[in-house]
Structure 1
Amino acid sequence: MMYFKIEMENQTSVTEFILQGFPGHWHIRVFLFLFFLFVYILTLAGNFIITALIFSDHHLHKPMYFFICNFSIAEIWYITATVPKMLSGFLTEQDTISFTGCFLQLYFFFSLGATECLILTTMGYDRYLAICIPLRYSMIMNNRTYTSLATFCWVTGFTINMVPIVLISNLPFCGPNKINHFFCDPSPLMELSCSRSQTIEIICYTYTSILILSTCFLIMVSYMYILLAILRIPSTTGRQKAFSTCASHLIVVLIFYASIIFMYVRPTAKYPFDLDKVIGVFYAILVPLINPFIYSLRNKDVKTALKKIIWGRINILNVSY
């Protein structure tokens, strides 16, 4: 990345960008700062709790919870890639970000987003094995398998977006530097280039579309087989129990993919960036807040582990007094 930045110095006069974010009166900006700060803290707390529970309770040392733990860790860094910078912008007259900082933010945000897509796909495959091939599940999804799958998700997530990001960073930026967004997003960045390249736009669109649609397709295929398997279960109780094991994952998938498909799987025409900012708040900030609550409130094992820890702490306090 630094090589491309040095190469760009001879072509561009832009050394920093201005993130316009959410302009407004001071009291509105203070309100938004407090609101997003609360959301950020709550999101970090929720995902940290999920991660700590899975690490500490041996009953949760299973492939499904291993993937949930990886997803929660990705969520922590995913929201951290954008929110702290956005929060600082509410308290300053002009929210600036360096050229290198902008593309580092873009890289980490999209790499973590890609990692989440891959982890969700792996979780769908895990649920398919557990429900459709239960007798062979423990043999197929052994420790080596789920560790390798998680490693693949992280490595692929952090390498798959390098080509489009490097291509965007090599566009000449010689004029306006105001990004009509609260973070460095490809579309408003390419709008600022003084020599827009349709080829680069198509490459970026193709990369994101293939990743999003292929992972979404694989998840939907997994759930098609899961649904068919559930319908073949004779008892109503058995069907409800089988579906409850994957309901949380399916809810997260629907919420996450609905927003990112709207944002990134569409023609490369001029976009209404104000609408993009609103949708961006949803998938970059609110969805990571919702996910830990979905996994905790709808998951019996997680709720049991949480109650065990809470009652354990209460008993310790009672004994000490």
Structure 2
Amino acid sequence: MSYDRYVAICKPLHYGTLLGSRACVHMAAAAWASGFLNALLHTANTFSLPLCKGNALDQFFCEIPQILKLSCSHSYLREIWLLAFLGFLVLGCFIFIMLSYVQILRAVLRIPSEQGRHKAFSTCLPHLAVVSLFVSTAIFAHLKPPSISSPILDLVVSVLYSVVPPAVNPLIYSMRNKELKDALRKIFQYSLL
């Protein structure tokens, strides 16, 4: 999404060539393949861990750090290396997103009209807000010290980074649709009467 915004704002005349159907298919395939490979590696590694502290988690979600707490051998080090590798990939994606938005910000600040700047920011800020929510809560969930860990805090943070961003994303982008805004305005006006 950040690359789409970058091309649309910084290179609008090249949008069709840089983000044609072939490029979109390649990006979607890369995202799906990397997600599938990540899930496959974590699943295979997690099922190979010997669990000697029971098999019940105090979590709604069955997350890897919670499962690692149940492991009793040093074989969990493979999973730690896998998580470190995944963290490196996520950091690379995060840096790519931030560099894209720095370039977008530089381009938007050069737009002479206030209306043009507002339109450019209105397309980017919702995506940046959702990405920020996802990244900050995921980092907090996996890097917080064990001293502040509690089952309810782990559950709230897990919901914040795994449920809220995908649920809010379509809502944010649909709010830019004029017909939807008008329909919501009518609903609120009738409900207040």
Which band: TM-score by shorter chain? Answer: 0.7 to 0.9
- Residue in structure 1 matched with residue 65 of structure 2 by the alignment: 187
SS of the counterpart of 1:160? Answer: helix
**Which 5+ residue runs of structure 2 have no aligned equivalent?**
184-193
**Maintained 8 Å contact 1:171/1:196:** no
User: What is the CA distance between 1:147 and its match in structure 2?
Assistant: 2.0
For residues 225-264 of structure 1, the aligned pairs below 5 Å read: 225-264=103-142
Task: Give the 3-state SS of the residue equivalent to 2:51 in structure 1.
Answer: coil
Counterpart for residue 49 of structure 2: 171
Superposed CA RMSD: 2.4
1:176-216 CA-to-partner distances (Å, cap 9, x unmatched) read: 22212112111111111222435224213313312322211
Question: Does structure 1 residue 126 correspond to structure 2 residue 4?
Answer: yes
Match in the other structure for 2:36: 158
Question: What amino acid is aligned across from residue 272 of structure 1 in structure 2?
Answer: S
Q: Percent identity?
A: 40
Could you tell me how far 1:137 is from its partner in structure 2?
Answer: 1.2
Change (3 A) 1:222 1:294: same
**What is the CA distance between 1:220 and its match in structure 2?**
0.5
Compared CA separation, residues 223 and 293, structure 1 to 2 (3 A): same
Q: 2:162 aligns with which of 278, 284, 302?
A: 284
Give the number of the structure with larger relative contact order, counting CA–CA contacts within 8 Å between residues 6 or more apart.
1
State the shift of 1:292 in Å.
Answer: 2.2
Q: CA-to-partner distance for each residue in 1:13-39, whole Å, 9 max, x for gaps?
A: xxxxxxxxxxxxxxxxxxxxxxxxxxx
Q: Within 1, Cα distance between the matches of 2:54 and 2:147?
A: 17
Residues 268 and 214 of structure 1: CA distance in aligned 2, closer, same or farther (over 3 Å): farther
C-alpha distance in 2, partners of 1:253/1:175? 36
Contact 1:202–1:268 (8 Å) recurs in 2:
no
Matched residue, 2:86: 208
Partners of 1:273 and 1:203 lie apart in 2 by 25
| Aligned-partner residue type, residue 130 of structure 1 | A
- Check whether the contact 1:212–1:261 (CA below 8 A) recurs between aligned residues: no
Q: CA deviation at 1:230?
A: 0.5
Indicate conservation of the 8 Å contact 1:177/1:192, yes or no: yes
Q: Once the 2 structures are TM-superposed, how far is the Cα of residue 267 of structure 1 from its aligned partner?
A: 7.3
The AA in structure 2 aligned to 1:282 is L
Relative to structure 1, the CA distance from residue 198 to residue 151 in structure 2 (aligned partners, 3 Å threshold; closer, same or farther) is closer
- Work out the number of aligned pairs and report it: 182
Return the alpha-carbon distance in structure 1 between the equivalents of residues 13 and 100 of structure 2. Answer: 17
Q: 2:149 aligns with which of 272, 275, 287?
A: 272
TM (norm. structure 1) is 0.52
What is the distance in 2 between the residues matched to 1:183 and 1:295? 27
Name the CA shift for 1:173/1:249 in 2 (closer, same or farther; >3 Å): same
Q: Secondary structure at the match of 1:150?
A: helix
- For 1:281 and 1:222, the matched residues in 2 are separated by 28
1:109-134, Cα deviation, whole Å (9 max, x unpaired):
xxxxxxxxxxxxxx101111111111
Maintained 8 Å contact 2:68/2:76: no
Q: Shift of residue 260 of structure 1? A: 1.1
Equivalent residues in 2 for 1:49-198 (5 A)? 123-197=1-75
8 Å contact 1:190–1:196 — kept in the other structure?
A: no
Distance 2:109 2:155 in 1: 41
The letter of the residue matching 1:242 is: A
The answer as to 2:97 corresponding to 1:219 is yes
**2:49–2:76: 8 Å Cα contact kept in structure 1?**
no
